């Protein structure tokens, strides 16, 4: 059986010039904005709440609830689009911006109407030169056509979108670090409370939403929350773009309803494992999922609750796939080095712990590990998780747990063998 995608957010991706406002307007673009601006803001927020939209940046927080925290009658308030995609294995936000930037801008203006923001920002990852260029051009097209700027659609609502490029720091995907960075500081997370909804950008009430989250908004407004809930599960409504990469025949972004089994994504949509090999492991949600899944977890349904029940996290939906001749220890060692490099240095357990874990995992992969290293790693990670200001510290424990628990036999083989038994 051949599985098909459910194209909502990616519906325009195949169209010629899908990034232009002409293509967007020709296929219903900005009609949801027109409708939203004729609807009371609180009713727009209510629609998003009823739809059950949850944040697609990794945490899954209910978007409508987030909007509802904002006191709309106390301007200025701000909307910030988190376009600082950097979770290893994830490439959905980049493609959403490259192929359909107007869908994002439309969602941003609708969200801003709901929370009373006259200005919003796209914080785009610095390395995404092409995506940022596409968004920049889309913003100027939107001003020319009057879908941004003064008195949009004669509603009296004014709105400006400002594109802001980052400068290379994974941590700026964390929403309070992002705000620090947008204010011209080192991207280090803030202490909460106060939460951004009370004191965010420039100490004003602020909503921060991920690109994919905001891209869902026009569809909810256009078609209604009940329509949105027809896709996915009770607790994970809607569709989700999964980024499938690694040892598969057709790596790429695939949009399917939440709850689609991992097997369908890996074996059918992505064409299965390359070279007739077998699957050894996959990450359900990027490097930050705890832990990676083995082949026995291929039938897990890809939604927030099922992945969590199976012992990991859905995260960003980045499925990095490893064939049976790939070394899981090597991959986890690389993730650990990533966390050690990207730890912002604010909290001692994360800054020092990731450094030492990276050293231990490097020697394990190099065949110089000792039997007691597995316990040592578990001890160090237990002193990072829950002891840092932000989630990076918690996520940094994932590679250790993967190696020391799920793939402990493979780790022991490295120690016994005094070397990595795998080619890749």
Closest contact distance (angstroms) between CB of 322 and other proteins is 7
Closest contact distance (angstroms) between CB of 20 and other proteins is 9
- Helices 328-342 and 408-417: crossing angle, nearest 10°? 100
Q: Given the complex with other proteins, which of 13 and 195 has the nearer CB atom?
A: 13
Closest contact distance (angstroms) between CB of 283 and other proteins is 9
Question: Residue 35 to residues 16, 143, 151, 153: CA-CA distances in angstroms?
Answer: 26, 19, 15, 10
Q: Given the complex with other proteins, which of 36 and 96 has the nearer CB atom?
A: 96
Helix (H) or strand (E) holding 410: helix 408-417
Measured distance CA(285)–CA(88) in Å, rounded: 9
Closest contact distance (angstroms) between CB of 52 and other proteins is 27
Closest contact distance (angstroms) between CB of 38 and other proteins is 29
Q: Given the complex with other proteins, which of 44 and 331 has the nearer CB atom?
A: 331
- Helices 348-365 and 373-382: crossing angle, nearest 10°? 160
Cβ-based neighbour number of residue 50 at 10 Å: 16
Measured distance CA(223)–CA(237) in Å, rounded: 14
Closest contact distance (angstroms) between CB of 142 and other proteins is 14
Q: Given the complex with other proteins, which of 62 and 126 has the nearer CB atom?
A: 126
Q: Given the complex with other proteins, which of 188 and 301 has the nearer CB atom?
A: 188
Q: Given the complex with other proteins, which of 133 and 145 has the nearer CB atom?
A: 133
* The two three-digit tokens of residue 398, written as one number: 């994932």
Q: Given the complex with other proteins, which of 215 and 236 has the nearer CB atom?
A: 215
Please provide the DSSP assignment of 293-360 as one string.
Answer: EEGGGTT-EESHHHHHHTTS--TT-EEEEEETTS-HHHHHHHHHHHHHHH--SSSHHHHHHHHHHHHH
Helix (H) or strand (E) holding 161: strand 160-165
Closest contact distance (angstroms) between CB of 166 and other proteins is 8
Give residues with Cβ within 8 angstroms of 334, minimum separation 6.
none
CA nearest neighbour of 334 among 382, 294, 286, 278: 286
């Amino acid at each position: 059986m051949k599985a098909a995608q459910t194209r909502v957010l990616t519906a325009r991706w195949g169209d010629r010039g899908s990034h232009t406002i002409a293509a967007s307007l020709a296929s219903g673009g900005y009609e949801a904005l027109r409708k939203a601006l004729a609807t009371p803001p609180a009713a727009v927020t209510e629609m998003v709440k009823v739809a059950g939209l949850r944040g697609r940046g990794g945490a899954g927080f209910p978007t409508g609830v987030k909007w509802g925290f904002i006191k709309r009658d106390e301007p200025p308030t701000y909307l910030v689009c988190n376009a600082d995609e950097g979770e290893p294995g994830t490439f959905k936000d980049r493609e959403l911006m490259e192929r359909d930037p107007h869908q994002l801008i439309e969602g941003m203006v609708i969200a801003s109407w709901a929370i009373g923001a006259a200005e919003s920002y796209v914080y785009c990852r610095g390395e995404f030169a092409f995506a940022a260029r596409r968004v920049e051009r889309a913003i100027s097209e939107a001003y020319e056509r009057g879908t941004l700027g003064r008195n949009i659609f004669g509603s009296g609502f004014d709105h400006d979108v400002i594109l802001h490029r980052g400068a290379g720091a994974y941590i700026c995907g964390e929403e309070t670090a992002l705000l620090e960075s947008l204010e011209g500081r080192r991207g280090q997370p803030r202490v909460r409370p106060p939460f951004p909804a009370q004191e965010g950008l420039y100490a004003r009430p602020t909503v921060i939403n991920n690109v994919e989250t905001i891209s869902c908004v026009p569809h909810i407004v256009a078609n209604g929350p009940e329509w949105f809930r027809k896709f996915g599960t009770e607790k994970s409504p809607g569709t989700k773009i999964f980024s499938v990469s690694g040892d598969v025949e057709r790596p790429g972004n695939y949009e399917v309803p939440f709850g689609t089994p991992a097997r369908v994504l890996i074996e059918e949509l992505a064409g299965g494992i390359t070279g007739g090999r077998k699957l050894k492991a996959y990450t359900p949600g990027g490097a930050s999922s705890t832990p990676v899944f083995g082949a026995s977890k291929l039938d897990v349904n890809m939604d927030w609750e099922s992945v969590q029940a199976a012992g990991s996290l859905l995260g960003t939906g980045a499925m990095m796939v490893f064939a049976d001749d790939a070394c899981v220890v090597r991959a986890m060692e690389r993730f650990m080095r990533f966390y050690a490099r990207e730890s912002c240095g604010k909290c001692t357990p994360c800054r020092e712990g990731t450094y030492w874990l990276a050293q231990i995992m490097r020697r394990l992969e190099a065949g110089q590990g000792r039997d007691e290293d597995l316990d040592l790693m578990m001890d160090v990670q237990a002193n990072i998780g829950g002891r840092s200001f932000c989630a990076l510290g918690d996520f940094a424990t994932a590679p250790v747990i993967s190696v020391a628990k799920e793939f402990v036999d493979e780790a022991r083989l490295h120690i016994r063998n005094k070397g990595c038994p795998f080619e890749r």
